[in-house]
Amino acid sequence: MCWCGANGPFVPSSEVIRPFASPGLLFEALRARQGAGGSAGILNQVFPAHRATPLVTVLDGHPHTLAFLAGINQVRAAHLGVTNFGQSGSLEDVYHYHGLDTDTIVRTALDIRI
């Protein structure tokens, strides 16, 4: 991800979390940390406490699906996703309609850091 700030473009590599395929695994690990049994080890690997930072989640599904991620390190968060279903159009148009386009994601990331 590349952000543009007042000083020009920069890549906050220490703050960017890579996509993951199993939010369910992370949710189970969070529940384990809360005492539900199981292992919470993956949370420290994916969301180490010393790197806690505001979080923007982006999902082409309902935004509440990933809302629990902010609770891992108790950080501010914004969750982008699809809240109305049934729209049609080009992928670019539909993503823009739902606020999943690049401009909205970058603007949200910059706003949440303020």
pLDDT digit string (tens) for 48-98?
898 888 889 998 889 999 999 999 999 999 999 999 988 899 999 999 999
What's residue 79's pLDDT?
Answer: 94
Q: List b or e across 52-65, with b for residues whose CB sees 16 or more CB atoms inside 10 angstroms.
A: eebbbbbbeeebeb
CB 12 within 8 A of CB 2: no
Tens-place pLDDT, residues 19-57: 677 888 889 999 999 999 888 888 888 888 988 888 899
Tokens read off for 68: 């629990």
Q: Which residue has the tokens 């909205």?
A: 104
How far from chain centre, in Å, is Cα 72? 12
CA angle 45/74/67 to nearest 5° reads 85
pLDDT band at residue 4 under the 50/70/90 scheme: very low
pTM for the whole structure: 0.75
Task: Give the span between the Cα atoms of 85 and 68, in whole angstroms.
Answer: 22
